Amino acid sequence: MNTPDESQQARRSVGTSASAALGLSALGVVFGDIGTSPLYTLKTVLALAGGRPAADVTLGVLSLVFWTLIIIVSIKYVSFAMRADNDGEGGILALMALLGVKRHQRPAIVALGLFGAALIYGDGAITPAISVLSALEGLNIAVPAAKSFVVPASVAILVVLFAIQPLGTALIGRAFGPIMALWFLTIGLLGLWGVLQHPSVLVAIDPRYALRYLFSGDPGSFLVLGGVFLCVTGAEALYADMGHFGARPIRLAWSVIVFPSLLLNYAGQTAIVLEGAPTQDNIFYRLCPEPLLIPLVLLATLATIIASQSIITGAFSMSRQAILLGWLPRLWIVQTSAEGYGQIYVGVVNWMLMIVTVGLTIVFGKSDNLAAAYGIAVSLTMLMTSALLFIAMREVWGWSLVVSGMVAGFFLVVDSAFFLANVVKVLEGGYVPLLLAAGVYGLMFTWHKGAAEVSRRLREKLVPVAQFMEQVKANGVPRVPGTAVFLTKTACDTPPVMVRHVERNRALHEHLLALTVEIQSIPRIKSKARLSMEEVAPNFWRAIAQYGFMERPDIPALLRQAQIKECGIGLDDVTYYIGRETVISRDGGNWLANFQKSLFALMERNSAHVTDFLRVPTESVVEIGRQVAI
């Protein structure tokens, strides 16, 4: 028999092994974006610094990269942001929900959270384009004659990548971790080889090199921050994907594998630049011995595909969160695997991202050109995350104003510097993610506002239950055998769809259940708190089902719960009644209001059917329509 100390040690060993396994898996999903940034970051920074800057400037650039990784990733996200989890889930939408925007009217927090989320869609379109282009640009060194094929090959790879999304990532996902582990090992070894050629490059770990260059008086030194920021463009994924792996495996993978590999590779690239390597092409590939160049290009292409896959999957997950929180219309969501809740496919999001990504690849043509469009979206998202973190420090963690202001203020200053350095690139391509984000934000705002107006209009003519049942009895409405489940948004009075059913069909089932589904601002609801019921009239029950924003409602499974059966509601003969509102625009209003009404009506007509969203069997559904003027 094991002693208590031995049992505790065994549990600790199992926990460590599980964390290591999850950390390996996280390499492919969480760190793909930030792990492929060495392909384009340093060459972009050196181009901003003058092409081949002096040694002190080059070391200053490396020091900036090193300390940016520490401050943004290791301190801000790994040490602080990942503590602000919403029942284990992370990301800017989860943080927005954590701060209670559904319980209180907090428009500033909503605006920060939604626009930050909208910016991630812009990142999702640019990441695959810049990553695949930068990987294939290694052919310019290995096979110069293939230069004209880089863009067509990139387009072909991207089209295939998006085309296979409906198949799901269950099978290929198992290979992501080992491939990315090989990638990080490779870039670490290449970087070590470069450092050995010029070991003194490691003095750039001293932050004084970064500060000396940043405050040297050179006007271009501040603008270089826009390129330096590219080294942390995948940092938001650490926070957003926390719910899939947990904080500990992500922290473990970052500290043990990812950060050391990135540091070595950036140092190695800087070392060979100091030794005289050309800077006009991709410096990353100059680290590689010529016989291994083609295999490295292939590995880099695989790594960038994985990075692209992770950002696409992230866009799918964020879309589902936005739908369940009421900020996007219902979209057709396919669960591609029973193994993981996060393995989903959202067709509309996938094809829209593909169109934008392929268009960006063709229009910009080079990773250097896309770099200008890349940083502004992520830097603005990080700035908004810092602002929300300040509120979380005060309201969730209970920190004092002084401590919260000092910590969050430091992050805000750093994020603001990077954002301002990227703002100057708006006309060079930075407008692309801003326009994309503005469009997505406009859709979110319009849908939420329109849905709230429809709900308000439906509540205007609600009939109390007692009054409705008296009318049923007075009018001699026959009660037919069976159970009718009326899905309604109203949590009180008689469901409007029930009233319309009696008006049109002149009959009512013997057993009645008015069911309201509510999505809460937490990821998951405990099974005991899932359902609440009360009998509001004889054989007339009202039920409220609560789900978290990371859960998908399943009404038939809900009705099979013992609590329903205890109420005497028969489930052998169930008919579901759903109201189908057709939105029309009322006369009056300015052109902007009328445009928003028309846009909402268009989204409402093209949204996925509520029966699919709630998993209600279509053969048992009766729809009753009505027009709603807003």
What are the sequence ranges of the domains in the chain? Answer: 17-449, 461-629
Q: Does residue 72 have a pLDDT over 90? A: yes
Q: Does residue 223 have a pLDDT over 90? A: no
Q: How many whole angstroms separate alpha carbon 565 and alpha carbon 295? A: 63
Q: How many whole angstroms separate alpha carbon 60 and alpha carbon 44? A: 15
Average pLDDT, the chain: 83
Q: Does residue 12 have a pLDDT over 50? A: no
Q: Tokens standing for 207?
A: 């932050």
Q: How many whole angstroms separate alpha carbon 321 and alpha carbon 333? A: 12
The whole-number pLDDT of residue 596 equals: 82
pTM of full prediction above 0.95: no
Superfamily of domain 17-449: Amino acid/polyamine transporter I (1.20.1740.10)
Per residue in 38-71, pLDDT (tens digit) is 988 988 888 888 767 788 889 999 999 999 999 9
Percentage of the chain modeled with pLDDT above 70? 89
Are 213 and 61 in contact by the 8 Å Cβ rule? The answer is yes
Per residue in 446-502, pLDDT (tens digit) is 888 888 888 787 777 788 888 999 999 898 889 888 889 999 888 788 888 898 899
The whole-number pLDDT of residue 269 equals: 94
Q: Which amino acid is at 447?
A: W
Are 87 and 95 in contact by the 8 Å Cβ rule? The answer is no
pLDDT band of residue 563 (cuts 50, 70, 90) is low
Q: Does residue 164 have a pLDDT over 90? A: no
Q: Does residue 103 have a pLDDT over 60? A: no
Q: Does residue 7 have a pLDDT over 60? A: no
Q: Tokens standing for 254?
A: 């970052």
Return the top range by mean pLDDT from 167-181, 199-213, 297-311: 199-213
The whole-number pLDDT of residue 16 equals: 54
Question: In this structure, are strands 333-335 and 344-346 parallel, antiparallel, or unpaired?
Answer: antiparallel
The whole-number pLDDT of residue 399 equals: 93
Q: Does residue 3 have a pLDDT over 50? A: no
Q: How many whole angstroms separate alpha carbon 189 and alpha carbon 310? A: 25
User: What would the mean pLDDT of 602-617 be, rounded to a whole number?
Assistant: 82
DSSP 30: T
The whole-number pLDDT of residue 11 equals: 35
